[in-house]
Amino acid sequence: MIKTAPLALTVFISAFFTLLTPSAQAAWPDDQPIKIIVPQAAGGTNDTLARMVGAELSKILGQTVVIDNRPGASGAIGMQATVQAPPDGYTIALASDSAALLDVLRPNLPWKFRSGLQGVVMIGEQPISIATSSKTSFNTLQQVIDAAKAKPGSLGYGSSGIGSSQNIVGEWMASLAGVKLVHVPYKGGGQAANDVVSGQIPLAVLGLAPMLKQQQAGNVRILAVTTLERSKALPEVPTLTELGYPQIALAQWAGLVAPAATPQPIIQKLSDALLKVLSEKSISEKMLAAGITPRPLNYQQFDAFLKKTVDTWQQVVPTLNIQIQ
């Protein structure tokens, strides 16, 4: 009897939690705030999207949704906080193409984006824009290239951080053009946009969303976009493909991810609720007005997209001179 008691107790406990777990999953969300971690500073594209989507998600689920900005380390700080959060559906994160770069740019991190997180829903995408302050004399990308060739290292461009997709595009373009541009990293696109508007830096390589209103206000001139086709928001602006850089044909995407161990029923509920948010006409209109094209994908489609994206970056990035401090 003494030998069999622990086994009986183990079976009882196992059965108890087997019965409890589905019930807890079925009750989700259960009067507890849902946190969306944004691994960039407030004011940038990801922060704007998180707040826009979070407000509507709160209405649909009847739960408070809070935004937690955790900028720094090219998004690694916010992503790590998400990986290490309890996998219960109450902590998710706004991930972007920059986050998917972490596996290749920061191989020594104690976790992996690919295995530590799972997709919940794809939100949308936008071009990356190459812009200049209206205080400069540049009206075309070729004029920028010519100036960089005349005085190597004299022109700086701002991005949302070292190792961000904007940083990748800036270095990739400079490499293809045979010039040296000085990278000026920020903790978010909003800060970089402010400095290019004020003329503190002459150039910015940023998502279209934070630059669109500045272009419309005459504060910046957007010289090119990275997508294969021109942006509907700025049909007069050429693509990098048109300007002789067909290798750089990509979009900056954004979506929501959760810790990898989050139960599938909870992921399903979250994904369904967020797809409902993205189907609302008011949300799609706001996104389009901001230069973001809605591209909703459910959790299965988005998770497959994430894995393919990580694989692509692992092939491209080693060919560039990206230094992570």
What percent of the chain has pLDDT above 90?
A: 71
Q: Tokens 């002789």, residue? A: 244
> What are the pLDDT digits (tens) for 213-237?
899 999 999 999 999 999 988 999 9
| CA 194/CA 189 separation, integer angstroms | 9
For strand 128-133 and strand 220-225, is the pairing parallel, antiparallel, or unpaired? antiparallel
> What are the pLDDT digits (tens) for 26-77?
689 888 999 999 998 888 888 989 999 999 999 999 999 999 999 988 889 9
- Helix segments in the chain, DSSP class H: 5-27, 45-61, 76-83, 102-105, 113-116, 141-150, 165-177, 189-198, 208-216, 264-278, 281-289, 299-316
At residue 10 the predicted structure's pLDDT band, cuts being 50, 70 and 90, is: very low
- The predicted model gives 146-156 an average pLDDT of 96
Distances (CA, A) of 61 to 24, 27, 92, 272: 16, 12, 15, 11
Residue environment code for 112-139, b if the CB has 16+ CB neighbours within 10 A, otherwise e: ebbebbbbbbbbbbbbbbbbbbbebebe
User: Which two tokens mark 110?
Assistant: 């104690």
The gap from C-alpha 170 to its chain's centroid, in whole angstroms, comes to 17
DSSP characters for 143-163?
A: HHHHHHHHSTT--EEEESSTT
The pTM score is: 0.78
Residue 11 pLDDT greater than 50, yes or no: no
